[in-house]
Structure 1
Amino acid sequence: MTVRRLTPKDLTAFRALWADGLMRVPTAFLFSAEEVRAFPNKDVERGLEVNLTLGVFNDAKRLVGFVSARRGGPKRMRHMADIGPLYVHPDAQGQGYGRALMEAVLQHLIDAGVQQAELVVDVENQGAQKLYQALGFHVFGRRPRSVLIDGAGRDDFLMIKALDGADLTRDA
C-alpha cells in the first residue's frame, strides 16, 4: 500500500472513486452526485492543489481510497482543520487502508502545526466511528438533520481530536 498526496494528474482516478463513493454511500459525502458531476475538472484540479487530499493505492497501484482535510480559513481558526470525506472502496475495506489514510492525514496536520482536527460522521456509520475513536477522536456533539438526502434528514456526530496534547474532553 502507498499513501500520497493526490495531484491534478490523479484527476480521472479521483473523480471515478469519488463518484463510486457517492453512488454507494451518499450519506458519507456533503455534496450530491449531481453537484459533483457539475464541478468542472479545473475546479476539482484546483481543489487537489489547494486542499490536502491523500490517496491510498493498493499493490496494483490502483487508487482505492482518499481523505481530504481543510485548515481553517480565518487567522483565528488556523489552529484547526476539518477532515473529510474519507472513502475506501468496498473491495479494499477491512485491510487497513482507512486507518493508513487517517494516520497520514493526521501526521500532515501535526507537521503543519494544526492543534486540533474535527470531523462529522453519520450517526449510523458505526464502522467509521470505531476507526475515529481508535485514533483518539471523541464525540462532542450531535447535529440533527445535518444533511437532507432525498428529503430525509440525517444526523451527524461531531468528533474532535487534539493534535497538541490538550484535553478537549474537559467540557464534554
Structure 2
Amino acid sequence: MQRFSIRRLERGDALAFSDIRLEGLSRHPEAFGASYEDEMLYTETQVADRIANNIIFGGFADDGALLGVIGVGRSGAAKLRHIASIWGIYVRPQARGTGLSRQLMGAAVDEAKATCRSIRLCVVSSNKAAIRLYETFGFKAWATEREALKVGDVYHDEILMRLDTEG
C-alpha cells in the first residue's frame, strides 16, 4: 500500500478541493447527491467556508497534488450529535488501487469514532468496490433507498450503511 499524506483541509485548500470535487461530480454523477451544475457556481469563498465548517480530509501525493477527499459531518442538533455522516468520497483515477481510499476512510472513521456513537453513509448500489471497502471497516447495510438519485433519465438506488461505535 502506497503512503500518502492525509490531513484535514484548510481554507487555503479551497481551489484544490473545488477542482477535485467538480471532477468527481462530473465523472460520477450517480455517486453524489450534489450536482456538478450546482457546485460549479460556488465561489472560492463559499468553498473555503464549506471547508472551515466541515471536517474534510485530503490525501496528498509527494508532489502536493490532492488525489482524494472525504468529508465527515455531524449535526449540531442536540438529539443528533451522536451520529456522524461520511460524505463526498472521491479518489482520482490515477490513485485508485493504491490504498488511498482505505487511508482516507480510516481518517474519517477515526475522527467520527472520537465523538459519535453511529457513523452513517450512503453509497450507490452499483459501486461494489466502495461497498466492499466500507464493509471491511465494519459498516453494514441497513436499508436501500430505491430511486434515491436521478441522473438524466436514469434512477439510482442507494444503500444506507452504518457502523456503530463505542463513541
**Separation (CA, whole Å) in 2 of partners of 1:7 and 1:34:** 24
Residue 45 (structure 2) aligns with: 42
Is the 8 Å Cα contact of residues 15 and 44 (structure 2) preserved in structure 1? no
TM-score, scaled to structure 1: 0.92
Residues 1:137 and 2:139 aligned together: yes
Residue 20 (structure 1) aligns with: 23
TM-score, scaled to structure 2: 0.94
**Separation (CA, whole Å) in 1 of partners of 2:43 and 2:61:** 28
Which of residues 8, 13, 24 is equivalent to 1:10? 13
**Separation (CA, whole Å) in 2 of partners of 1:109 and 1:141:** 21
Residue 128 (structure 2) aligns with: 126
Which of residues 151, 154, 165 is equivalent to 1:152? 154
Residue 162 (structure 1) aligns with: 164
Partner deviation per Cα, 1:126-170 (whole Å, 9 max, x = no partner)? 0100000011101000001111111321100000001218xxxxx
**Separation (CA, whole Å) in 2 of partners of 1:163 and 1:10:** 31
Gaps of 5+ in 1: 166-172
Partner deviation per Cα, 1:91-143 (whole Å, 9 max, x = no partner)? 000101010001001111122x1111000000000010000001110100000
Deviates more, 1:34-43 or 1:77-86: 34-43
Q: Give me the CA root mean square deviation.
A: 1.1
Gaps of 5+ in 2: none
Report % sequence identity: 30
Partner deviation per Cα, 1:28-62 (whole Å, 9 max, x = no partner)? 21111110111222221111001110000012221
Which of residues 87, 92, 107 is equivalent to 1:89? 92
The one-letter amino acid of 2:127's match is N
Residues 1:69 and 2:57 aligned together: no
3-state SS of the aligned residue for 2:166? Answer: coil
The one-letter amino acid of 1:96's match is G
Which of residues 93, 99, 103 is equivalent to 2:102? 99
Residues 1:58 and 2:54 aligned together: no
Q: CA deviation at 1:14?
A: 0.8
The one-letter amino acid of 2:9's match is L
Post-superposition, which runs of at least 4 consecutive aligned residues in structure 1 deviate over 2 A? Answer: none
